[in-house]
Amino acid sequence: MIKRPVQALLLAAAMLAAADRPAIPWENRLRIGQALYRENCSVCHDIDRPQSKKSGPSFYHLFQRAQMPIARIKPGRDYIKLRVKFGGALMPTFRTWLTDRDIDILIDYMASK
């Protein structure tokens, strides 16, 4: 019972700390996004080739596509953010260890590929 209030307090403190951080220059933002991608996404998703050899779909030129590989809708930042935060049928949720800012940076990196 005590764990939940402590977790909520820690999460609130982390969110406040993230809100106070200054903007990240674009080139550093892409490097951070690449690191986030490698740590969290590269196990299941390719980003440098059109056809994935992994369990998840490829993110190669994702935002230039007419539709997502599985969802069959036009790729958009909001949809990608929801998928990263809340997962999907086979995809785990990342909302517990990636902040909204981390996810935005990750999406910037994906959009640059």
**Tally of domains in the chain:** 1
64 located within any domain? yes
Question: Higher-confidence residue: 103 or 53?
Answer: 103
Residue 54 covered by a domain: yes
pLDDT in tens, 84-95: 999 988 899 999
Q: Return the DSSP state at 42.
A: T
Quickly list H helices, the chain.
Answer: 3-19, 26-40, 77-86, 100-112
In a domain, 17, yes or no: no
Which residues span the domain enclosing 101?
23-112
Residue 8 has pLDDT above 70, yes or no: no
Answer yes or no: is 55 within a domain. yes
CATH at residue 33: 2.60.40.420
Residue 15 lies in a domain: no
The residue whose two tokens read 């929801």 is: 82
Q: b vs e for 65-77, b when ≥16 Cβ sit within 10 Å of the residue's Cβ?
A: eeebbeeeeebee
Residue 101 in any domain: the answer is yes
What digits encode the pLDDT tens for the residues 50-66?
888 898 888 999 999 89
**How crowded is residue 79: how many other Cβ atoms within 10 Å of its Cβ?**
13
Answer whether residue 14 is part of any domain.
no
User: What is this structure's pTM?
Assistant: 0.72
| pLDDT band per the 50, 70, 90 thresholds, residue 75 | confident
